[in-house]
Amino acid sequence: MMRERFLSGYDSFVLPFMIGMAFILVYCIAGMIKVIMQLNKEDKIKLAKSLFYPANAFKNLRDIFADCIFHVKIWKRNKLLGYMHSSIAFGWLMLIVIGHIETWIYIPQRSGLLYYPVFFRYFMSVESYTLRGSFFFFLMDFFLLMVLSGIFLAIFKRFRSKILGMRRTTKLTLLDYIGLYSLWAIFPLRLISEGFTAGISGGSFLTIPVNWLFANFLSKPENFDYTWWAYSIVLGVFFIVLPFTRYMHIPAEILLIPMKNAGIKVRHPRKGMALAQLYSCSSCGLCIDACPMGTQKKNLKDSTVYLVRQIKRRNETRTREISDKCLMCGKCAAICPVGVAACDLRLAVREEQKCNIHGDYTYLKSVVPDLNKQNDRGEDKVLYYAGCMSSLTPVISRSVVKILDKAGVNYELMDKDGSICCGRPLLLAGKKEEAEALIAKNREIIHNSGATTLLVSCAICYKIFSEEYSLEGIKVIHYTEYFESLAKQGKITLTKGSSRYVYHDPCELGRGCGIYDAPREAISRIGELVPAEKEKKDSICCGGSIGSLTLSYTERGHITQYAVNNLIINTPDKIVTACPLCLKTFSKYSDVKVIDFAEALSQQME
Amino acid sequence: MIDFGFALTPSATLQIDNLDNKLFEQLRNIEPDVAKCMACGSCTASCSAGNYTELNLRKVILSLQRGREQDTLNSLKSCMLCGKCNIVCPRGINTRHLILSICKVYNI
């Protein structure tokens, strides 16, 4: 049985907490309205629709629980890091929820007060223990212990981050430190405060022993006012600095997840979706270890976490510098636990710089490739686009043609007399309008050719063909998938040789388009496939990427060397890649022979 | 040189005293690598846009150095930024960014 200790149900020590709580609530609601108002009309409708669509609403709920409370993505990365996050998040949530339930059961008339469940133990006194009461006491102590263990790991991580799977961590700002220390202090202070009052308000396995301990030290129970004040103050401080620290990701992610699930894209570097992402960045620094530019220490401050910080600070010069330097390999975005679309943010920054090149592509009108206009026999026709990069690596188109001939495919070459660029490089340079001109021209050529399938051998081209072209009725396929299907159907016969191969995932193909397995299956048909140290989603950019505008030749060289070392860890005989740019870049630096995917297959074709 | 009163091509003589290379110096400040160019023409040979237009990066760089930018600058507009010149450059010049910088400095 319990009863209230004070008739008023109020004590002035709750004020710091209440001020902080009011501030954070107002700030979050205002921020949410701001983000949603900044979306354009189309996106607003998209978001509203997805919120009320039951399947999507369920997905939102599931993702919020999986990502914000249980941190499933972090668990997959490192168990200790996962436990640290979910114990704090889940434990804290349960403390709040159970606190409310307790208030609601025992003192229903106070359940409207925000501070009451938080400081429940201060206001209550226990008269006799019941089973139900003891159960609540036990739960509260249990979750408090859970949070404390997470906090302990967090403190440990400050000193030895490597054990939790992180080589480098973000350099924090002053406010981040204030937030961090107040977060660390909240729960130990809660333990001490509740321990102090446990003699009056009751407690369980954690708080009662603390109470015995303190009773021996301090005989005056009046002293516990100070600890409750301290507990309330650190909570208040934490809430007030929260919007200006990394911890803003806690509330912001709840908004970002439905927006992401609605399919809203970044359109401006600081507004709408971008703003939601800027708030959601937890400055965890996983992107620092992921960035291939990190091979050189001077580039460490060019990773996504610092880009986010500079955009928030409105430091235009640094924002541009970081955005222009990036290779756009997408590795940071792929591993980001909150899903900050780092490449999209950088593209938006690049698009904002209007002063550079104003392309004039009227000359494209006169380009008419010599193609059989009609597909007279009415059967399937494959149009092969080698891409402009392949003109530097003619071995790719030669090998592709050889395989197509062997398989007896009805095909035609789209760019045998020199090609028009696919538009991806312009797009990556932030020249969307200019890219549209090239896209329109290529689309015209493809549609006029009467083809039913467009075969592409360049990973960069494949990305833009499948995403931006909207070719109705024409299947766009990358040669890795196409040749694997030819081999599966038995149209080409591959013999297994004795060579050991390692496959390099080109960024645009792997992380860009999600093709990881088809090339591996095909290579397994022609020899032994050995793994690289980091592959698939974690594969390392070759360093030649056209994504970077400013990275110099020597800096790229360091990255290439790093990527090669990553590939040859299991001593393969050959490195196979599926992108002409990777092939060209690796060939300069690798002692192990680098060959193209089509070349590798054609060598082992009967 | 003897002046015959006629010539097959317009005079290519440079008047160093009249040379206004303020813009080129500005370009060199942000793109120091431009001075590394040895005019080998690899960029031009590999150029996608060069297949269809007058674009010739080697010529553009030379004309900028000589303060005669008006001869060639407009041809840069046809560049598709595909970056092949960047890959083939034996001097390791970041030609792709150089083109963007030229457009910025010379305001085209």
Residue A423 falls inside a structural domain = yes
Q: Answer whether A146's CB lies under 8 Å from A70's CB.
A: no
The number of folded domains in chain A is 4
Q: How confident is the model at residue A186 (pLDDT cuts 50, 70, 90)?
A: very high
CB contact (8 A) between residue A425 and residue B80: yes
Last residue of a domain, one of A203, A223, A250: A250
Name the β-bridge partners of A2: A126
Give the per-residue pLDDT at A171: 86
Report the 10 Å Cβ neighbour count for A496.
11
A242, A282: one domain: no
d(CA B61, CA B75) in angstroms, rounded, equals 12
Does residue B18 lie within any of the structural domains?
Answer: no
Q: Same domain for A130 and A205?
A: yes
Question: Region B4-13: what's the mean pLDDT?
Answer: 74
In-domain check, residue A334: yes
List the single range of A124-133, A367-376, A504-513, B38-47 with lowest mean pLDDT: A367-376
Q: Is the Cβ pair B96, A554 closer than 8 Å?
A: no
- Whether the pLDDT of residue A541 is over 90: the answer is yes
Q: Where are the alpha helices (DSSP H) in A242-340?
A: 249-261, 273-280, 286-290, 304-313, 316-325, 331-335
CA distance A474 to B105: 43
Residue A259 maps to a domain? no
Whether residues A334 and A441 fall in one domain: no
Task: Please indicate, yes or no, whether residues A289 and A337 belong to a single structural domain of this protein.
Answer: yes
Last residue of some domain: A302, A334, A352?
A352
Quick: pLDDT tens for B32-70: 999 999 999 999 999 988 888 889 999 999 988 888 888
Q: Which helix (H) or strand (E) holds A503?
A: strand A500-504
In a domain, A258, yes or no: no
Same domain? For A450 and A370 the reply is yes
| Mean pLDDT score of chain A | 88
Count the domains in chain B.
1
User: Distance between CA A501 and CA A523 in Å, rounded?
Assistant: 8
Q: Are residues A379 and A470 in the same domain?
A: yes
Examine the pLDDT at A222 and tell me if it is beyond 80.
Answer: no
- Taking the C-alpha atoms of residue A109 and residue A353, their distance in angstroms, rounded to an integer, is 59
- Set of chain B residues whose Cβ sits within 8 Å of the Cβ of A542: none
- What confidence tens digit (pLDDT) does each residue in A99-151 have? 999 888 888 888 778 888 888 888 888 877 788 888 888 999 999 999 999 99
Residue at which a domain ends, from A298, A331, A352 = A352
What CATH number does the domain containing A509 carry? 3.40.50
- Give A-chain residues touching B80 at CB under 8 angstroms: 359, 361, 388, 420-421, 423, 425-426, 438
pLDDT at A457: 92
Residue B61 lies in a domain: yes
**A255 in a structural domain:** no
Quick check: B97 contacting A, CB < 8 Å? Answer: yes
Q: Is residue B32 less than 8 Å (CB to CB) from chain A?
A: no
Taking the C-alpha atoms of residue A256 and residue A32, their distance in angstroms, rounded to an integer, is 10
- What residues in B contact A431, CB-CB < 8 Å? 81
Q: What are phi and psi of B2, to 5 degrees?
A: -75, 135
Chain A, chain B: beta-carbon pairs less than 8 Å apart: 90
A5 falls within a domain: no
A554 interaction partners in chain B (CB closer than 8 Å): 92
In a domain, B7, yes or no: no
Residue B23 in any domain: the answer is no
Q: Which residue of B has its CA nearest to A543?
A: B87
Question: Quick one: A194 and A287 in the same domain?
Answer: no
Q: Is the pLDDT of residue A375 over 60?
A: no
With residue A177 as reference, give the H or E element that holds it.
helix A174-201
Task: Please tell me the pTM assigned to this model.
Answer: 0.88
- Comparing CA positions, the residue from A242, A99, A225 lying closest to residue A176 is A242
Between CA A251 and CA A105 the distance in angstroms is 28
Residues A373 and A477 in one domain: yes
B-chain residues near A461 (CB < 8 A): none
Q: Are residues A502 and A479 part of one domain?
A: no
Which of A495, A463, A458 lies closest to A480, judged by CA?
A458
Minimum mean pLDDT range among A267-276, A322-331, A367-376, B51-60 = A367-376
Substitution target from B30, B79, B80 for chain A, most A beta carbons within 10 A: B80
Asked if A419 and B46 come within 8 Å (Cβ–Cβ), the reply is no
Claim to verify: residue A441 and residue A424 sit in the same structural domain? yes
Are A458 and A536 contained in the same domain?
A: no
Is residue A35 domain-shared with residue A82, that is, in the same domain?
Answer: yes
Domain assignment of residue A152, yes or no? yes
Is residue A256 assigned to a domain? no
The pLDDT of residue A376 is above 60: no
Q: Is residue B4 part of a domain?
A: no
Instruction: Provide the domain limits for residue A390.
Output: 362-485
- Which whole number is the average pLDDT over A432-455? 88
3-state class (DSSP) for residue A376: coil
Task: Identify the domain containing residue B51 by its residue range.
Answer: 32-105
